[in-house]
Amino acid sequence: MNTKKTTFNNRLLPYLLLAPQLFITLVFFIWPAGQAVKSSFEREDPFGLSTVFVGLLHYQRLFEDPNYLSALSRTAVFAVSVTALSMILGLAFAAAVDRLMRSGKIYTTLLVWPYAVAPVVAGVLWWFLFNSTTGLMPFFLEKIGIHWDHDLNGTQAMILIIIAAAWKQVSYNFLFFLAGLQSVPQSLMEAAAIDGSGPVKRFFTISLPLLSPTTFFLFIINVNYTMFDTFPIVDATTVGGPAQATTTLVYKVYQDGYLGLNLGSSSAQSVLLMMIVMVLTFVQFRYVERRVQY
């Protein structure tokens, strides 16, 4: 068993080999994160001319702010919906393409396309489709008796950003699920088929359990995506409105910090967001990973 283990005689070499990665992590993650923590304890004017230490004031304000608390629950709804929708759809598409003998490549290419679209463009696209004045969807929805106006209806606005954000992520999930499905040993499937189990049963009893590492990985990636990468989509489709109905935590960070120039509060919010995601990831690894079979 020891054949694969390499022993370094030089004590410095392993550190040297790790150095580039450590350096990048330090410069691009630890340092900015440290800056965020530092400025979350400070109050600073936009130009950075005067800085005052205010301790936990920003955090205290946030927990007293009903808008922040509702953004928390809103983000939970958003994250769960987008993750569920994009993973279920990604898996469904992957299963469908996996069954194809021919033209599977074409479908794969087509399905991966949305991933190449920049989030802002995706947002604008859905904004156009659902624009209550000029959009195509409200026109059809009106025919089946649904009045669409996400400029005023918060629930509709939420549905819109969930669709837009999920649409963008389906491709990614699809690609991983497809790769996972294609690595399921053919012999297992054949044996099951000979034993008389149909395609649906084979999928749920063989493919799906074997996909559990992929699913777990995608689960974490998707939650992170909804938490951090979705603000351009919100910005381009609903601008966080109406009346903050689509202001998620990350969008609030952007709004208060970048547009409102309230750097202290924005930093405090991003620190909290970082902590939320860390806790979530920890929980996922601690409890969900036990069910994963590698």
Partner 1 sequence: MLKKLTFAAAALALSATTSLAATEVTWWHAMGGELGKKLEEIAAKFNESQADYKVVPVYKGSYPETLTAAIAAFRANQQPAIVQVFEVGTGTMMAAKGAVYPVYKLMADQGESFDKSAYLAPVVGYYSDTEGNILSLPFNSSTPILYYNKDVFKKAGLDPEVSPKTWEEVEQFSKKIVSSGAAKCGFTSAWITWVQTENLSALHDQPFGTLDNGFGGLKTEFTFNGKVQVKHWGNLKKWQDEGLFKYGGPVGGDQAATMFYAQECAMTMNSSAGRAGVINNAKDFTPGFGPLPYYADEIKEPKNSIIGGATLWVLNGKDKDVYKGVAKFFSYLSKPDVQADWHQFTGYLPITNAAYELGKTQGYYAKNPGSDIAIEQITRGTPSANSKGVRFGNFTQVRTIVDEEFQGLLAGNKDAKQALDSAVSRGNKLLREFEAAN
What residues make contact with partner 1 under the rule CB under 8 A? Answer: 32, 43-50, 52, 131-134, 151-154, 239, 241-244, 255-256, 258-262
The distance of closest approach from Cβ of residue 183 to partner 1 in the complex, given in angstroms and rounded to an integer, is: 35
The distance of closest approach from Cβ of residue 1 to partner 1 in the complex, given in angstroms and rounded to an integer, is: 45
Q: Which is nearer to partner 1, 131 or 197 (CB)?
A: 131
Q: Which is nearer to partner 1, 134 or 293 (CB)?
A: 134
The distance of closest approach from Cβ of residue 273 to partner 1 in the complex, given in angstroms and rounded to an integer, is: 15
The distance of closest approach from Cβ of residue 235 to partner 1 in the complex, given in angstroms and rounded to an integer, is: 11
100: which 2 tokens? Answer: 């194809």
The distance of closest approach from Cβ of residue 264 to partner 1 in the complex, given in angstroms and rounded to an integer, is: 8
The distance of closest approach from Cβ of residue 92 to partner 1 in the complex, given in angstroms and rounded to an integer, is: 34
Amino acid occupying residue 68: Y
Q: Which is nearer to partner 1, 64 or 195 (CB)?
A: 64
CB atoms within 10 A of CB 264: 21
CA distances from residue 260 to 46, 63, 136, 251, 252 in whole angstroms, order as listed: 9, 19, 34, 12, 10
3-state secondary structure of 187: helix
Q: Which is nearer to partner 1, 104 or 241 (CB)?
A: 241
What lies within 8 Å, CB to CB, of 79 at 6+ separation is 223, 226, 227
Q: Which is nearer to partner 1, 77 or 243 (CB)?
A: 243
Q: Which is nearer to partner 1, 214 or 255 (CB)?
A: 255
- Could you check whether the bond before residue 20 is cis, i.e. omega within 30 degrees of 0? no
Q: Give the position of tokens 């992929």.
A: 214
51: which 2 tokens? Answer: 């800085």
What lies within 8 Å, CB to CB, of 156 at 6+ separation is 148, 149, 150
The distance of closest approach from Cβ of residue 133 to partner 1 in the complex, given in angstroms and rounded to an integer, is: 5
CA distances from residue 289 to 138, 178, 212, 224, 284 in whole angstroms, order as listed: 42, 21, 9, 17, 6
C-alpha 263, offset from chain centre = 24
Q: Which is nearer to partner 1, 132 or 230 (CB)?
A: 132
